Every structure is written in C-alpha cells, then in structure tokens.
Homo-oligomer: A and B are copies of this chain.
Amino acid sequence: MDGDEGPGPELQGRLGYLLKHAFFQLEDLHTVHLADGPVNVRELSVLLLLEGREPESQQQAAGRLGVDRTTMVGLLDSLEGKGLVARQPDAADRRRNVIVVTDAGRRALKKAKAASDRAERELLADLSPAEGRQLRDLLARILAR
C-alpha cells in the first residue's frame, strides 16, 4: 500500500536536496501558520524588509529583497490593497514612491512574525535550541560572501 517513499541515499546526501526540501517544508509550515492572517510569507518578507528602513525607492527595496522591479510592483499592489503599506510620492524626487508601513501593517507584521516564529520552531522541533542556532549560524556564514 504505502510503497517506498523516499529518494534513496544517493540523492538524500546531496546538499541541494537537503536545502531545497528543508526550504519547502518550511514554506508549507508558513502556509499553515499564516493561513488566518492577512499576509503570505512573501508579503511578510516585504514588510520585514521595510521595517525600520522605510525611505527608499521600490527598486532599491526590490534589489535588497532579490526580486525583479516589476515583481515588487505586484507585491506592493497587494499590500497596499490590504491597507498595510502606502505609496507616497517622494517630495524630493517625484519619480519615486516612498513606501510607508501603516499602523495596520505594523500590526499585521507583528502577528505574522509570531506565526513565522512558530513555523520555524516547528521545523526545528527535533533539534535542540543550540543546534537550531548553529544551523542558522552555518547558513549565515555560507551567505556572507
């Protein structure tokens, strides 16, 4: 009935497989834990990016997030439609929009961050706190280049 799930050791030992599936598993957990909130994991990342560093152009923000400038337009359309951020014409450079997080946006961010924390905790459930920290540390050092 069950059949043999699992890709076999050859593939399971590959770093690409491990990273990809750990990421997908976390995505699934995010979907669950963010289900009753107003934002998805993608929009959460935008709010996190904007937090505290508000005055910058959409393109700068897109660059820092690693998405295309045209993708950021849609992302902000969605967030603006929910009243979580607002586009304001930059007085100093009227080509630009200044993106500000609204009060509702800050509330949504706080809730979503808590939900994301739960998702992360669930992913790391079988690891000790020290091991979780170490995983973060190792990944951060890989990216620091």
Report which A residues bind B (CB closer than 8 A). Answer: 3-8, 10-23, 25-27, 30, 41, 45, 48-49, 51-53, 60, 63-66, 116, 120, 123-124, 126-127, 131, 134-136, 138-145
Contacts and interface: CB of A to CB of B under 8 A. Distances in A.
B120 A145 contact: no
Given A3-B60, A49-B11, A134-B134, A19 B139 contact: yes
Count of chain copies = 2
Contact of A7 (B15, B64, B135, B139): B64
B7 A65 contact: yes
A26 to B, nearest CB: 6
Q: What does DSSP make chain A's interface, helix, strand, loop or mixed? A: helix
Nearest to A109: B10
A140 B135 CA distance: 12
A6 B126 contact: no
B136 A123 contact: no
Contacts of A48: 8, 10-11, 14
B25 A143 contact: yes
B21 A16 contact: no
Nearest to A16: B26
Contacts of A51: 10
Given A16-B23, A22-B142, A64-B4, A11 B126 contact: no
A84 to B, nearest CB: 16
